[in-house]
Structure 1
Amino acid sequence: MSRGASLPPLNALRVFLVAARHRSFSRAAVELNVTHGAVSRQVRNLEEFLGVALFERQIRKISLTAEGQQLFAESSPALEQVGSAVRAVMARPPARAVRINARPSFAVRWLIPRLPDFVARYPRIEPQLVTSTLSPEKATEAFDIAIRRGVEGWPPAFKVQPFLEDELILVMAPSLLKAKAVSDAPSLAAHVLLACKSRRQDWDDWRQHLGLSRLKPARRLQFDHIHLVLQAAVDGLGVALTPTSLLGGDVAQGRLVCPLPRLRLPLQSIYYGCAPGAGREARLFADWLDTQAAA
């Protein structure tokens, strides 16, 4: 073994300390649950590493050399300190977790950008996000708290709580609005309308709510999720109709504008519900949701 290393083989050092304490390889073997030969080999490895003899070996008797006495006196407290540190770390309570079930677009556009605030407030609680388009009552993975729009599709045992009001509005890229102005609803006919597969009725519901005649756009583009629709809008592909809850920072930071801000369609509120038996972590997360919605 190389003596240039900064530390000796720690297992060999541990075996040496037990043998030195007992002044016996045999008793050390019993304590460590190994053979007498294994103890002897580990001590020999340590002696080779250090380049000195640690024991004087006699028939049925061993005694520490001066070097062995020095190593035992100085290493034994150090190794015990390491053991104490390990036990202290293992005794700490594990990080707690809260499993959150949310739809992908809500997770991407509303929840994830806000999660750093929750982590900063509750550093010992780990938020674990599960995204799903299934209703909470059909969820295939366990969760502590779910977030969905409306009161349908919840398991009967859940108590659901509204926390976020919502409505549909029009958004588009500033560059697209500059190229093709939108002054009223009929002027949307000159644009590509961006639609979401999971919200296919939004355009018709919005139009009917406002009493508008049927829209005949230049073209329609459909995407699987609303966060993809909004990215397409940011990239100037067309005009999107989106829940305000999913706008994120795109309007505030100038990536999107709302050309007709008064033409809005109220939507069902967004609710959260805690699973029966969910721990305090879920309750803290629910309270945090309320503060975020209020902000």
Structure 2
Amino acid sequence: MISDLPPLNAVRAFASAARHQSFSRAAEELHVTHSAISRHIRLLEEHLGTLLFERRNRQSLLTPTGRAYYQQVSLGLAQIADATQALTRASAARKVTINVRPSFAVRWLIPRLPDFMAQFPQIQPEVVTSTLAPDPSRETFDVAVRRGSSGWATSLEPNVLFADDLLLVAAPSLLKAIPVQAPTDVLRHTLLSGRTRSADWQTWCRLTGVDQARQQPALRFDHMHLVLQAAVDGLGLALCPASLLGSDLGSGRLCNPLPDLRMPLTRYYYGVPPGAAADTRVFIDWMFSRFQHDSCAP
């Protein structure tokens, strides 16, 4: 019973003194005074009704009762230490590793992570970026997000996360200098594109009936977040997935001159490998809630 427990600080002082066979060394270990150790052990002896140490000149030796008591107490303290360490490790291990493409990390995930961390401070998100198809045999992660369901490792089942559209965007200063009021007006501009989305302009022009000029100025970048930065800096027009625009439209850094033209894109999918962290579902549910929130935002 808890009511039968002796003073635990006194037990701790006794265990240290018994282990070192010295009140002075116990005081150093516990960062207290020699007299404090003596008081704790005297209190414990009074509680137990027996002597635990023989006091001699400059020496304190365990009595037979003290030795027997120390053997049992040391086991109990070790169990407490092990339980505490296991609990600490379990708390520290609450981490979810998210594998995403660089542009998705920069433009969608990272700006929203403060919301996840505020809601779930006990879970540590770790973001790793990759341009490869998700494969847990090659990379360690708890959840992967990619556009499309093809190319995934057989150990992963891709599940729909959210839909997306392609929008035409540009810096307000560029549109003021060279307005875009119809699809054919894009022929007056430099076209910006990403290496992984190099066919977007060709597809967009075909769907809008624009006969793209062969020698039209164009700039290509490795990732979409670089394309968007180039658009913000007024280097040209960009076709960008709505999911990656972040706050650029709301803040006025970019404008959508043809808001009625939205080209549906392949949906985003997520996959969870076997043995993923238990908190992975919490992160996935949060992603769904964030997408719903973003969809309802004005």
Give TM-score scaled by structure 1 length. 0.71
| Structure 2 CA distance for partners of 1:265 and 1:138, relative to 1, 3 Å | farther
1:62 equivalent among 44, 57, 66 = 57
**Matched residue count:** 243
**What is the CA-CA distance between 1:88 and the residue it aligns to?**
8.3
Rounded to whole Å, the distance in 2 between the matches of 1:62 and 1:173 is 87
What is the match of residue 165 of structure 1?
A: 163
RMSD: 3.5
What is the match of residue 6 of structure 1?
A: none
Note the 1:1-295 alignment, pairs <5 A.
21=17, 31-32=19-20, 61-63=56-58, 90=85, 91-92=87-88, 93-95=90-92, 96-137=94-135, 140-215=138-213, 218-295=216-293
| Structure 2 CA distance for partners of 1:139 and 1:226, relative to 1, 3 Å | farther
| Structure 2 CA distance for partners of 1:87 and 1:177, relative to 1, 3 Å | same
Conserved 8 A contact 2:117-2:123: yes
Counterpart of 1:209, as a letter, is L
Counterpart of 1:274, as a letter, is V
Rounded to whole Å, the distance in 2 between the matches of 1:256 and 1:263 is 16
Residue segments in structure 2 that go unaligned for 5+ positions in a row: 1-12, 38-54, 60-77, 294-298
Rounded to whole Å, the distance in 1 between the matches of 2:161 and 2:25 is 65
**Residues 96-105 or 137-146, more deviating:** 137-146
The percent identity for this pair of structures is 46
- The SS at the match of 2:250 is coil
Cα deviation digits, residues 143-190 of structure 1 (max 9, x gap): 110000111011223222212111111100011111111111222122
**What is the CA-CA distance between 1:292 and the residue it aligns to?**
1.1
| Structure 2 CA distance for partners of 1:138 and 1:223, relative to 1, 3 Å | farther
Residue segments in structure 1 that go unaligned for 5+ positions in a row: 1-16, 22-27, 55-59, 65-82
**What is the CA-CA distance between 1:117 and the residue it aligns to?**
1.3
Rounded to whole Å, the distance in 2 between the matches of 1:127 and 1:138 is 18
- The SS at the match of 1:293 is helix
Counterpart of 2:261, as a letter, is L
Cα deviation digits, residues 41-94 of structure 1 (max 9, x gap): 969x99xxx9xxx9xxxxx95248xxxxxxxxxxxxxxxxxx9x9888644332
Give TM-score scaled by structure 2 length. 0.70
Counterpart of 1:120, as a letter, is A
- The SS at the match of 1:267 is strand
Rounded to whole Å, the distance in 2 between the matches of 1:116 and 1:139 is 30
